[in-house]
């Protein structure tokens, strides 16, 4: 017997009524007060995730450099502390180790922390006084648990694989290998493929060889400054706890003509690709990404501009594809969470390393960032989440100066460069106001933003570290929860 639309509507209404009982709402209200706020630090490799997380923790512990964090400006922020991670299966973010590297220790000069190699979490507790008089009477001091989730940027590439087939990925990857400067780097891998018949019976030694060869090619591309966002998988670059696992023993292969024999190299590689996609990527997304409340997307725009227009376009494509896998919207109210579960309701797109760009051009860097993420931001806002873009430097390693050259007063940056004893003044090129013109200039090699090292004296007892707009970033990400 068929059911009418009105009958189905009535059935859904009764189901909803059972979920929205006073007991369920009371339980949800209690959980919202006690539940940690989970902030995901998202970004591709070398975007500055480890530095950002370290700087955020330091800034909240010593908030003297946070004038634009409203709770701090109002004098309502009482303080913060580091806490033990809530999930015993996730390693703790090594805050003290990273801070010591930034400060310089054991006679070493300050330097940048090592890139993230594993998933980690930093838990902090914040206390503040509510802004409203009524709220102060109900609870004069409030507390928030903040969980900051850090992970290798290479793993973000995997989100673009969730909906792809092995055949499509292989075809695109192999076509890419034969283009431009990548072709020379791909020669050893392609030569090995020439000796194989994808329809031949599979064996573990050959599959492991293919996986190692593909990993070596990806690493060679990244070392040469070539984009790898459309290739992946990310764990072939940073395997984490999957080092040597059979699920990483495959590579792109040309599709055999006709029927693909069961147990063939191609069939087993396709099976392992699907296992990787569903069991590794899918599980990681469900257990970590799908539980985020807030998200900061870090983008090394100065680095991409220095690498050329192709790198900027590749970065845009990688961000658009990967961000499409996240759940956005306003699901944090009592009813909203009961209906839709956890969703990300605030996103910050941050152009990192803004200190490499003269201060007068930061608005242009922000405009370029807006242009880069316009499609992704529009889709996220459509789902109901708030977005903002900012040009930031979580740790300020360089300062803006003017220098005269050939009778011109040029906007430059000054900082410490590896291998040099004294700070250097560098003219990185002028960033145009028009994002399209900036991309055109990048295509012609018009930019050279240097990777400065942290300055001496960056970490001082009882003080936060120098930064650019980190306080504004924090106000967007958690400011509303400190109201």
Antiparallel, parallel or unpaired: β 408-415 and 424-426: antiparallel
CATH number at residue 298: 3.40.50.300
| CB 443, CB 464: distance < 8 Å | no
Within-domain flag for 206: yes
Same domain, 364 and 227: no
Same domain, 132 and 186: no
Could you give phi then psi for residue 294, rounded to 5 degrees? -130, 160
Within-domain flag for 72: yes
Distance CA 252, CA 48 (A): 30
- Domain boundary (239, 255, 281) is at 281
What's the confidence (pLDDT) of residue 405? 83
Least trusted range by pLDDT, from 104-108, 246-250, 295-299? 104-108
Antiparallel, parallel or unpaired: β 424-426 and 346-351: unpaired
Same domain, 116 and 254: no
pLDDT class for 13, splitting at 50, 70, 90?
low
DSSP conformation class of 281: I
Same domain, 292 and 276: no
Distance CA 153, CA 210 (A): 23
| CB 146, CB 37: distance < 8 Å | yes
Q: Which domain holds residue 273?
A: 157-281
| CB 71, CB 79: distance < 8 Å | no
What's the confidence (pLDDT) of residue 4? 59
pTM of the complete model beyond 0.85:
yes
pLDDT in tens, 211-241: 999 999 999 988 887 776 667 899 999 998 8
- Domain boundary (236, 266, 281) is at 281
Distance CA 10, CA 378 (A): 35
Same domain, 224 and 271: yes
What does the pLDDT average to over 434-443? 93
Q: Does position 465 have pLDDT exceeding 70, yes or no?
A: yes
Distance CA 31, CA 51 (A): 31
Coil, strand or helix: which one is 317?
helix
Same domain, 362 and 225: no
| CB 109, CB 456: distance < 8 Å | yes
Same domain, 119 and 232: no
Angle at 124 between CA 301 and CA 285, to 5 degrees: 60
Q: 387-390: long-range contacts at Cβ-Cβ below 8 A with a sequence spacing of 24 or more?
A: 387/346, 387/347, 387/348, 387/349, 388/347, 388/348, 388/349, 388/476, 389/348, 389/349, 389/350, 389/351, 390/348, 390/349, 390/350, 390/351, 390/366, 390/469, 390/472, 390/473, 390/476
Q: Does position 340 have pLDDT exceeding 60, yes or no?
A: no
Q: Which residue has the higher pLDDT, 415 or 334?
A: 415
Same domain, 71 and 168: no
Distance CA 181, CA 225 (A): 10
Number of residues in the chain: 483
pLDDT in tens, 264-274: 999 999 999 99
- Domain boundary (281, 309, 329) is at 281
Within-domain flag for 419: no
Q: Does position 336 have pLDDT exceeding 60, yes or no?
A: no
pLDDT in tens, 109-123: 999 998 888 889 999
Same domain, 163 and 140: no
Return the closest-CA partner of residue 349 out of 325, 329, 365, 333: 365
Within-domain flag for 230: yes
CA dihedral 205, 209, 210, 216 (to 10 degrees): 160
Same domain, 276 and 357: no
Per the structure, the count of domains in the chain is 2
Residues 6 or more apart whose CB falls under 8 angstroms from that of 400 comprise 358, 359, 360, 411, 412, 413, 414
Same domain, 108 and 247: no
DSSP conformation class of 43: E
Give the C-alpha distances (Å, rounded to integers) separating 208 from 94, 243, 272, 279, 368: 33, 12, 12, 19, 42
Same domain, 334 and 257: no
Work out the end-to-end distance of the chain between its first and last CA atoms, rounded to an integer number of angstroms: 54
Within-domain flag for 369: yes
Q: What is the residue-averaged pLDDT of the chain?
A: 88
What's the confidence (pLDDT) of residue 181? 83
Return the closest-CA partner of residue 150 out of 52, 34, 216: 52
Could you give phi then psi for residue 78, rounded to 5 degrees? -80, -45
Q: Which residue has the higher pLDDT, 384 or 333?
A: 384
Within-domain flag for 98: yes
Within-domain flag for 211: yes
What does the pLDDT average to over 167-188? 91
Show the tokens assigned to 37: 């706020």
pLDDT in tens, 351-380: 999 999 999 999 999 999 999 999 999 999
Distance CA 228, CA 249 (A): 19
Least trusted range by pLDDT, from 5-14, 210-219, 407-416? 5-14
Within-domain flag for 216: yes
What does the pLDDT average to over 10-15? 61
Antiparallel, parallel or unpaired: β 142-150 and 120-128: antiparallel
Q: Does position 10 have pLDDT exceeding 70, yes or no?
A: no
DSSP per-residue string spanning 416-458: B-TT-SS-EEE---PPPSSHHHHHHHHHTT------PBPPTT-
What's the confidence (pLDDT) of residue 27? 44
């Amino acid at each position: 017997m068929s059911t009418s639309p009105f009958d189905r509507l009535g059935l859904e209404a009764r189901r909803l009524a059972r979920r929205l009982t006073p007991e369920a709402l009371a339980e949800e209200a209690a959980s919202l007060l006690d539940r940690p706020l989970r902030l995901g630090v998202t970004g591709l490799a070398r975007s500055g995730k480890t530095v950002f997380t370290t700087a955020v923790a330091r800034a909240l512990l010593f908030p003297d450099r946070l004038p634009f964090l409203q709770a701090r400006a109002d004098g309502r922020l009482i303080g913060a502390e580091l806490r033990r991670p809530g999930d015993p299966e996730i390693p703790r973010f090594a805050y003290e180790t990273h801070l010591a590297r930034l400060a310089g220790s054991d006679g070493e000069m300050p330097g940048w922390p090592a890139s993230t190699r594993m998933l980690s979490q930093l838990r902090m507790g914040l206390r503040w006084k509510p802004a409203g008089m009524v709220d102060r009477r109900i609870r004069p001091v409030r507390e928030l648990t903040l969980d900051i989730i850090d992970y290798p940027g290479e793993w973000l590439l995997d989100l673009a694989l969730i909906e792809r087939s092995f055949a499509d990925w292989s075809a695109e990857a192999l076509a890419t290998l034969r283009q431009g400067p990548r072709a020379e780097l791909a020669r050893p891998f392609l030569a090995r493929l020439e000796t194989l018949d994808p329809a031949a019976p599979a064996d573990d030694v050959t599959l492991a060889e293919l996986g190692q060869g593909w990993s070596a090619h990806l690493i060679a591309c990244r070392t040469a400054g070539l984009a790898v966002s459309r290739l992946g998988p990310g764990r072939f670059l940073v395997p984490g706890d999957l080092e040597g696992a059979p699920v990483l023993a495959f590579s792109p292969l040309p599709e055999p003509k006709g029927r693909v024999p069961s147990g063939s190299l191609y069939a087993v590689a396709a099976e392992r690709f699907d296992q990787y996609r569903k069991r590794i990527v899918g599980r990681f997304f469900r257990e970590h990404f799908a539980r985020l409340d807030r998200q900061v997307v870090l983008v090394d725009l100065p680095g991409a501009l220095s690498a050329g227009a192709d790198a900027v376009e590749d970065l845009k494509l990688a961000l658009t594809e990967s961000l499409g896998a996240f759940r956005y919207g306003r699901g944090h109210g009592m009813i909203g969470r009961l209906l839709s579960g956890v969703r990300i309701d605030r996103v910050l797109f941050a152009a990192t390393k803004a200190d490499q760009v003269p201060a007068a051009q930061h608005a242009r860097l922000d405009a370029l960032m807006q242009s880069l993420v316009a499609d992704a931001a529009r889709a996220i806002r459509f789902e109901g989440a708030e977005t903002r873009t900012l040009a930031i430097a979580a740790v300020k390693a360089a300062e803006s100066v003017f220098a005269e050259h050939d009778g011109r007063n040029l906007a430059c940056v000054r900082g410490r460069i590896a291998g040099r004893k004294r700070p250097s003044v560098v003219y990185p090129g002028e960033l145009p106001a028009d994002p399209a013109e900036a991309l055109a200039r990048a295509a012609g090699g018009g930019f050279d933003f240097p990777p400065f090292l942290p300055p001496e004296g960056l970490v001082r007892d009882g003080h936060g570290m120098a930064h650019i707009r980190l306080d504004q970033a924090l106000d967007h990400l958690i400011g509303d929860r400190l109201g």
